[in-house]
Structure formats: C-alpha cells, structure tokens
Amino acid sequence: MSDNPPTRSPQRLLQDIWGYPSFRGMQLPVIEHVAGGGDALVLMPTGGGKSLCFQIPALLRDGVAVVVSPLIALMQDQVAALHELGLRAAFLNSSLDAASARRVQEQARAGELDLLYMAPERLLAESGQRLLGQCRLALFAIDEAHCVSQWGHDFRPEYGQLEILRERWPEVPRVALTATADIATRGEIAQRLLRDDARLFVSSFDRPNIRYRVVEKRDGRSQLLQFIREEHPSDCGVVYALSRNSVDEVAAMLAAHGIQALPYHAGLDARVRQLHLRRFLDEDSVVMVATIAFGMGIDKPDVRFVAHLDMPRSIEGYFQETGRAGRDGLPAQAWMAYGLADVVQQRRLIELGEAEDAYKRLSSAKLDAMLALAEAADCRRVRLLAYFGEASTPCGNCDNCLQPPQWTDATEQAQKLLSTVYRCRQTSGTSFAAAHVIDVLRGKHSDKVRRYGHDALSTFGIGADWSEQDWRVLLRQLVAQHLLEVDSQHYNVLRLTATSREVLRGTRRVGLRRQSRAPAGRGRRAAQAGTQAAPLAASDAPLFDALRGWRGDIAREHGVPAYVVFPDATLRAIAAARPRDLQQLRAISGVGDKKRDSYGESLLRLIAEAGEPAAEP
C-alpha cells in the first residue's frame, strides 16, 4: 500500500482497512511473527480468518507478497475483495490474456503491488521463476498447504515442487496455511516448505455456529429434499455426492422441485463449470451439487448448509467440506445421510485402489475414524475436535446433544445375526447378502429362503420381533466395527470376521445406537438455536432485504460476488443499528475507511428511506 507508512501497526490496519475492532484467536501472534521475518505453519478452521495472517504482513513488509493459491476463482474473488478495500493486488493465471498478464508483471517488477496471487503451475514455470527473480519479495504465502502432502486428503503433485521456494529464496519468509492437517501432514508441510525454526500456530478447530447432524439413510434424495425444503428453502448451500452421475441426477431432482440447484464436476464442460461457479458465488440462493473436487478455497461466507449424500472417506475431508458452511459466523448446518452402502462403498474404493499397502492401511484407519464419528452416541463436536487433538466439552448444538440417542445392549441380537450368517453358509456352502439373512431372521418364507432350505434353520424366525430396518441398523454398526464384513467384490455377501467369534462367545458386548425422532416443528428454529449469532429481528428484516438488494446492484456494477461488497453479517449489523451518519456507520464491524467512503452516503440514504422499524406486536 503506497500510502501506508511501515510504522502502522497490525491493529491500526485491521481497523482502518477491514473495519474490524479486534483480532481473533491466533491471528495477531501469527501476523507479528511473519511480519518479523519468521516462517510459520498456520492451522485455522475454514472461516477462521487465515487470509489476514498473510495480507496484513504483506502491508507491513517491503516488496510484494506472493500468494500460492490452487483455484482461479478463489484468486479472482480474493483480489476483487482486496480492491474493494483499496489495496494493490493482482493475480497471474490462465484466465488472463497476454496483454493483461504483461501489465501485472510490470506492476510487480515496479513495486506497484502489495499482493500477487499465482497458481502453483504458473509460479513453477520458467517465466514465473524469472518474474520473481526480478521482484522485491516480501513473503510467500502457501494457501491450502495440505495439498503438499501425499498423506493428506487433497494431494496435488505441483504443490510438492514448491520446495524450490526454500531453495531459491531462503531469506524470504514463508507462511503455510490450511484448515485441516493431521500430525503426519503437518510434518510433511514443514519439511517441504518451511525453515527448520518455523513456528507452528494451531487455532481452535471449533466452529460453534455449525450444527453437525447425521441421519440414517433410507431414501437419501428424498431426505435431502425434505431437509432443504423445511429448513433452508431459500438458502445457499452445497450438496456433496460421490459420483458424477449422482451429482447430475440430484441437481436435476432438486431443480424439478423448484430449488435453484446446479451440478459441478470434472465431467462437465469447463465453460459450464465456470458459469455454475460464478452463479454460486454471485447469487444468494443457489445450491451447488458437487463432487468433493468442488469447494477448496471457496470464500463465500453465506453458505447456510453443507449436505453429504455419501459419507466422506476421512474426518479431514469431512471437516474441510463442512467448514464451507457459515464462514460469516451465522448459524449453519452440516447434514449427512449415512447408511450401510456408504461403509461398503468406501472400503471397496480403498481395497481396489492402486495405492501402496501403507497408504491403504492409513486410509482404512481414517475411514474407521469417520465411521466412529457417524455412529457416535455422544457429542459429535467433542469427537470431531478430539481427532485434531483438541479437548472440549459437550456443545449442546449437535444432533446427539439436542436429541440424545438411545443406547442399548444388543449383544443377543448381534449373536442371532452372526449365527444366521454362519448357518446360512454352513448349510449351503455359499454366503448370502443382507436381505436374505434378514429374511431368515424375521421368518420370511421367500422363494430364496425355501430354495436353500433356510426355513429349517434353528435361527429361522428368531428375530421376528425386530423390523427389517432395525436389523439393518444393527448390521451397519457391526460392519462399522469390523465385527462383520461385506464382500463387495462378490455380490455384497456377508462374511464373519476374526472378531465375530468374540461376540458369539459372549466375550465382547455390542451396543446399539438408535436415533430419537426429532419433535415436529424444530426445522429452522432448531437450526438457529444454540449458536452465537442472534436471529434477525422481524422489524429489521425489510431493511435487511433492501440492503441485500442494494448490495446485489453494486456487485453487478463492479463485477464482483455480492459478499465481496459486504457479507450478510455486516448487513445484518447495519439493519439492526440503523446508523444515522458516517461515523456511526464506520463503527460497525466490517465497514472500513474505503467502504465507508465508497458506499456510506448511498447506505445512509437507503436507511433513511426505510424509516424507523415497525413496533413489535
């Protein structure tokens, strides 16, 4: 920033430029360390304010800060947001024509930029290396740094080549930032990218405004439609599905029911993907249905829900994806439908993969941790945070805290099920799938049961007091605990495991988790209760809607996403405070000097036209 003398403090920059009264969590210690020339590995949850940890040091140090970012859309939106703040920023990626790229390069060489965003491929190219060699460098910031690790959940080979930064510019400080990294991944990031004396900054991973919720999958798509209709009818959200076909079908289903749903996956034409991404970023009520390839680095703050139709393969992936909800601190939900097929499918993907045995063992361990989270009967947030080494107490704002599931001893029923699996194979010389085993347990005289003579087994009908759904719940939990396995390569038949004998002999107990039904009418009220953000008063809603309309007009005029102008949280604060002059407007969190000067008079006119709020009845 040409008009900022180097003596300005981080606190002054935060207040004057971003309009925030104070730093959060570990932000200030990170900023002071990096601005002083130190290397750092920063772990903060999505929405925790990682960007400030390199943007403010970029303004405090001489030269241009080079930000390595994996996505073109993310670079464009972050640069647009910085321009709205009055900062000197640009990006270099394949979206620029030759003339525009030359202009950015000239600005970087001339010292006319504070931040330069580059894709790793562009940085590693000979032309990128030559450009950096001609610039005065303030620092390197490597965003989404977990991509460097082959043990991580989003490995990108080009990130591994960023070791060249340490080799060629050892004196330039580097800050690596990510929202998720286990111990092994942290070690690899530090080894490849940072100096030996780099500091590790780990913020709390807690996102208290997100409600974690797992439902038993029966008809996943119908359950998803009901969830969106009842609890998020006009909200922005992301729905994750495992396959491209599923993404297309779910998006079409939601659209047919009046929801603005768009598909996103690698099989779509690049222009279609870009169009859908722009609509998601620019509009307020779009639901993006996507594979897990979508979302890394997406900076949209007003995503009110993230839904999973298929279980993620690791807690790291789940945490990263659910963290895209509620970045503005307002209430949001992480909803997942989970069933036996998810367990089978994920284990099959690991078994049939071409990875080395060590990687398969690690993947299986990560999947088991994810299964434990899905099957948990205690606080999900406690379990989630414990995975990242953070102790916590029950949150009171996840499904298990709000509607504690019943936990009963189901050892006898488990013995009946395992015995039936054993006897069916013993008498027929072959194994059978879940549906047949449950028919035998429940005493159903199906053609297949009669054909194999299984109606003569001693276990025939001994489970008639349980419904088919009850047996499937128990079956899923047995598979999740490796007490039973599904051979997905041979028609999904059931097989006993070495630990099955412990249950059959009575030396191992089996507990059964049954989720309580939610009381009618909890819907949106439940989604908003128990979080830190207060709901918008009814009397302020008309002004809030008018402010969003005004914001949309400004965003279209400037060619930026609406949240770049102001996030919903700031508009809510303006609607509640109804400032009467520029000084009162400037006092609202999120309104810095530049935005006050750019939009203040227009906002004050809009507030005055709205008049005083209607009296509450």
4 or 167: which carries more pLDDT confidence?
A: 167
Residue 501: is it exposed, middle or buried by C-beta count within 10 angstroms (0-12/13-18/19+)? Answer: middle
CB–CB of 495/430 below 8 Å? no
The pLDDT score that the predictor gives to residue 344 is 83
pLDDT at 465 over 50: yes
Find the mean pLDDT for residues 14-38.
95
Paired residues of 118 in beta bridges: 68, 92
Please write the tens of the pLDDT for every residue from 304-329. 999 999 999 899 889 989 999 998 88
pLDDT at 520 over 70: no
Residue 433's nearest CA partner among 421, 422, 443, 444 is 421
Q: Which domains does the chain have, with CATH numbers?
A: 10-202 (3.40.50.300), 210-405 (3.40.50.300), 408-514 (1.10.10.10), 536-610 (1.10.150.80)
490: confidence class by pLDDT, cuts 50, 70, 90: low
Please write the tens of the pLDDT for every residue from 535-578. 678 889 999 999 999 999 999 898 888 889 999 889 999 999 99
Per the listing, tokens 């073109």 go with 72
Instruction: State the Cα–Cα distance between residues 329 and 327, nearest whole angstrom.
Output: 5
pLDDT at 419 over 90: yes
Q: Three-class SS string for 453-497?
A: CHHHCCCCCCCCCCCHHHHHHHHHHHHHCCCEEEECCCCCEEEEC
The pLDDT score that the predictor gives to residue 610 is 85
The pLDDT score that the predictor gives to residue 72 is 78
